[in-house]
Structure 1
C-alpha cells in the first residue's frame, strides 16, 4: 500500500515537472515570436483628466508609424534579450535609431522599481512570489533602466499574453512637452497575435512627491500594433546591428556591473549639460570600455 502511495506521489510530481517544462517552452516561444521586422502603428490618447486646474490642457492624441527590427540578442534557458531598432528616413538613405530593449528573465527575484525623478528602488522578491513568472526589464536607448515588472505568461483560448502594472519615467513624447507630472504607472499587456503582436497600455499620469500621497492627474490609452513584414525590409537595421553589436555589449556589461551592486539607484539627468545617449550615440569618441565605462559611471550618483 505504501509503495502504491509513493508511486502515485512520484507520478504526480513528475507530471507537474513536465507541465512546468512544457509551459516554459510555450513562454519562450511567445517571447521570441516578437523578433523580426514589423510595421508599427503607435497610438496614444488621453482618456480622462482629474486636474482641478481649469487651465489644464490634455496631451494631444498621437498617431505615428514606423518600421522596426527586433533583434534576438541573447537566448538562454532563463533569459531572452530583444533589442528594438527603429528605421527612419527614406528607403534609399535609411537611418537607424537604437530604440528600447526588453530583457525577459525567468523566476527572477531582483528588480529595480522606478520611484520618481530618476530614482529606482532595488527590491528582492521571495522565490515563491515569482514561481513560473517572467520579469520584463525595459531599458532606455542608452541601456539605462526604464521600468521592470514580473508576471505570468498566459496561454488560453488561443491567446498568449503577459500583463503587468509598474511605475515608469515619462515617455519621450511626454517629457519633452510636459512637466506637470513625474511618474507613469503603466499597465502593459503584450499579446501575440496571428499578424504579429500588440503592446497595449493603460497608463496613469501621476504626481509623486516625497512624504505625500500620489496624485492622479490623468489617464491615457496606448495601443501599439506590430504587424510582421518580410525580414528583408529591415536589412539596414540588421547591418547596423552587425557593425555595432560589440559596442553595445560593452555598454550592457557596464550597466550589469552597476545593477549588480543591488542597491537603490539614482542617476544624473545630464553631465556637462549633455544627456547620456548623446555621449553613447557618438560612435567616433565612445567605442571602447575605456571610453564608455567612465561616462556611464559619471551619471550614477
Structure 2
C-alpha cells in the first residue's frame, strides 16, 4: 500500500524538526564549553600595512598571559550569557578585574552594528535571514556595547566553530596608543578544541569618514588561546562574581532597556571628564539602582 502524500510530508517535517533540535543542542553545548577556568594567552601582530606615510609605525606585537574565569550567567533555550573575569598577580592574593561579556542569542533579529565615533546603527533582520544562526553580542567591561554579529555554528570533521565578520571600535590595546584609524573590522572565529577553545581573528584597521569610502590602513592577526584548567585555580574570580553579581545585574538591566529602544545609539566618551567605568568601578563605584540608571543614561546622547 502506498503511503499517503500528506503522511509522508508530515514524517519529513518531523525528521527535520528533530534534526534541527539536535543541531541547536550541539550548538548550545559548544557555546557552554567556553565557560570555566582557563589559562589564556592573548597574541596580536600587525601583519600588513597599506599606509602612504613613510613614517608609519605599526603596532607592536602583543603577547599577554593570565587566568580567566568565564562565568555562566544565563542559560535558557535561546540565550546563553557568559561573563569573563581576569585573575592576575600573586596567586596567594590575586587581583580580579571584570573583563568582557559575551551573549549568545538564537535566531536573533535585532543587532547593533558599529559605525564609527561611538555610534552604533540599529539593524533589523527578517526571521529567514537568521534561521539556525546564533548572534554573539560582545560588551565592554562596563557592559556598554562593543560589537555584534550573527552566524551558524558548524560541526564537521570533528570540529565545532562559529565565524562572523563585523565592525567594532578599537580594542583597548589600540585606542590608548593610536588615533590614526577609527574602525576595526573583526573577523572572528571561535573554535572548540581538545584543550579548551581558541578565538582566532583576522582584523582590518579602517579609516572611516562620512561621505567617503573606507580606507584600509593595516591588517592584524589575533590568536587567543583558552586552555582549560581546574576551576579551583579561578576561585578568587568565582568568589568575586558571587560578591558582585547583584550590582552587575542592575547594570545589565539598564543597558537592556537602552538597547531595547531599537534605534541608533550614540554614546558620550566621557561625562564630567570621566569614562563610564570610572563611575562603576574605580572612583564612585556606584551600587544603587537609581544612581546606576542615571549615570548610564547620562552617557546616552539624545
TM class by smaller structure: over 0.9
- Where do 1:153-232 residues align within 5 Å? 153-232=153-232
- 4+ aligned runs moved over 2 Å, structure 1: 282-285
Would the aligned equivalents of 2:167 and 2:186 in 1 still touch at CA under 8 Å?
yes
Q: CA deviation at 1:2?
A: 8.5
Would the aligned equivalents of 1:35 and 1:71 in 2 still touch at CA under 8 Å?
yes
SS of residue matched to 1:90: coil
**Could you give the per-residue CA deviations for residues 66-90 of structure 1, whole angstroms, max 9, x where no partner exists?**
1000000000000000000000111
**Could you give the per-residue CA deviations for residues 227-282 of structure 1, whole angstroms, max 9, x where no partner exists?**
00000000000100000000000000000000010000000000000000111114
CA distance in 1, matches of 2:113, 2:235: 35
CA distance in 1, matches of 2:261, 2:190: 30
- Stretches of structure 2 that go unaligned for 5 or more consecutive residues are none
Would the aligned equivalents of 2:38 and 2:226 in 1 still touch at CA under 8 Å?
yes
Match for residue 97 of structure 1?
A: 97
- Stretches of structure 1 that go unaligned for 5 or more consecutive residues are none
Q: CA deviation at 1:34?
A: 0.3
Q: CA deviation at 1:4?
A: 1.6
SS of residue matched to 1:279: helix
CA distance in 2, matches of 1:139, 1:66: 20
**Could you give the per-residue CA deviations for residues 94-128 of structure 1, whole angstroms, max 9, x where no partner exists?**
11110000000000000000000100000000100
CA distance in 2, matches of 1:7, 1:32: 38
Normalised by the length of structure 2, the TM-score is 0.98
Match for residue 41 of structure 2?
A: 41
Match for residue 106 of structure 1?
A: 106
Would the aligned equivalents of 2:278 and 2:285 in 1 still touch at CA under 8 Å?
no
CA distance in 2, matches of 1:39, 1:220: 23
Match for residue 237 of structure 1?
A: 237
- Where do 1:290-301 residues align within 5 Å? 290-301=290-301
CA distance in 1, matches of 2:95, 2:4: 67
Normalised by the length of structure 1, the TM-score is 0.98
CA RMSD of aligned residues (A): 1.1
Match for residue 17 of structure 1?
A: 17
CA distance in 1, matches of 2:8, 2:286: 61
Match for residue 131 of structure 1?
A: 131
CA distance in 1, matches of 2:84, 2:113: 22
Q: CA deviation at 1:3?
A: 5.7
Would the aligned equivalents of 2:278 and 2:284 in 1 still touch at CA under 8 Å?
no
Would the aligned equivalents of 1:104 and 1:134 in 2 still touch at CA under 8 Å?
yes
Give the number of equivalent residue pairs. Answer: 301
**Could you give the per-residue CA deviations for residues 24-69 of structure 1, whole angstroms, max 9, x where no partner exists?**
0000000001000000011000000000000000000111101000
Match for residue 272 of structure 1?
A: 272
SS of residue matched to 2:286: coil
SS of residue matched to 1:269: coil
Q: CA deviation at 1:147?
A: 0.1
SS of residue matched to 1:177: coil
